[in-house]
Amino acid sequence: MFQVRIHGRGGQGVVTAAELLSVAAFDEGRHAQAFPSFGSERMGAPVVSFCRIDDREIRSREPISEPDAIIVQDPTLIHQVDLFAGLVPDGCILVNSGRTFRELGLGDLLERYRPERLRTVPASELAREHLGRPLPNAALLGGVAALCGVVSIAAVTRAIREKFPGSTGERNVAAAEAAHACVDAEMREPAGA
């Protein structure tokens, strides 16, 4: 089982990101379960969503406390919310930022985890460029496909097109592919740079 936790703020598509990830996994013939942290969602409030992916039926309904991957959609949460609690020792982190982990004040994570699995990608900027709006969720899913390989970028883009037919979908696909290329290129470089 592969478990993903997504942190962001209300209005950033945190819940939709988990849904899309589950649809991408489903599309590849796997079982997937996506669910939000349930609450009175409102714009700007911290929001968490979850996605489990497995080759067999997923029965557990508990929130994910030991994720294999963490996506941070909003870097302003970094010193406000315990974002990285429970990450498994060889887990992945993808932060929406153009800065490095050290610049974000997250240098200690590079010591505690495998640095090649900790990446940032300027998803909001890529979204602004391709969508005209700083909605980072689709781009981050492209990045996660490159970082974790738990779903393919092809499945991610199919899920995006299915959810958002027409030009909205195409623009989100472009953002996802750009982020995928970005993380993919970084993965070929030395870690933690």
Partner 1 sequence: MLEQLEGSRAVAESVALCRPEVICAYPISPQTHIVEALSQLVKAGDLTPCEFVNVESEFAAMSVAIGASAAGARSYTATASQGLLYMAEAVYNASGLGLPIVMTIANRAIGAPINIWNDHSDAMSQRDSGWIQLYVESNQEALDVHVQAFRLAEELSLPVMVCMDGFILTHAYERVDLPTQEQVDAFLPRYEPRQVLDPDDPVTIGAMVGPEAFTEVKYLAHAKQMQALDLIPEIAADFATAFGRDSGGLVRGYRTEDAEFVVVALGSVLGTIEDVVDELRDAGVRVGALAIRTFRPFPIHEIREALAGVPRVLVLEKALAVGIGGIVSQNVRMAVSDRDLNVRTAIAGLGGRPITTASLRRLFEDALADRLKPLTFLDLDRGLVERELQRSRERRRSGPHAENMLRDIGVVAAGPV
Q: Is residue 18 involved in binding partner 1 (CB under 8 A)?
A: yes
Closest distance to partner 1 from the beta carbon of 60 (Å): 5
Examine residue 35 and tell whether it contacts partner 1 (CB under 8 A). Answer: yes
List 23, 138, 140, 175, residue binding partner 1 (CB under 8 A): 23
3-state secondary structure (DSSP) of residue 9: strand
In 55-145, the DSSP E strands lie at 69-72, 92-96, 118-121
The residue written with tokens 């699995």 in the block is 117
In this structure, are residues 147 and 95 in contact, taking their beta carbons and an 8 Å threshold? no
Q: Which of 46, 115, 134, 192 binds partner 1 (CB under 8 A)?
A: 46
In the complex, the smallest distance separating the C-beta of residue 185 from partner 1, rounded to whole angstroms, is 31
Distance CA 42, CA 164 (A): 22
**Residue 9's beta-bridge partner residues?**
46
Largest pairwise CA distance in the chain: 44
Answer yes or no whether residue 68 interacts with partner 1 by CB under 8 A.
no
Point out which span in 39-47, 90-98, 104-112, 129-137 binds partner 1 (CB under 8 A): 39-47
- The residues that touch partner 1, with contacts defined as CB under 8 A, are 18-19, 22-23, 26-27, 31-40, 45-46, 48, 58-63, 65, 81
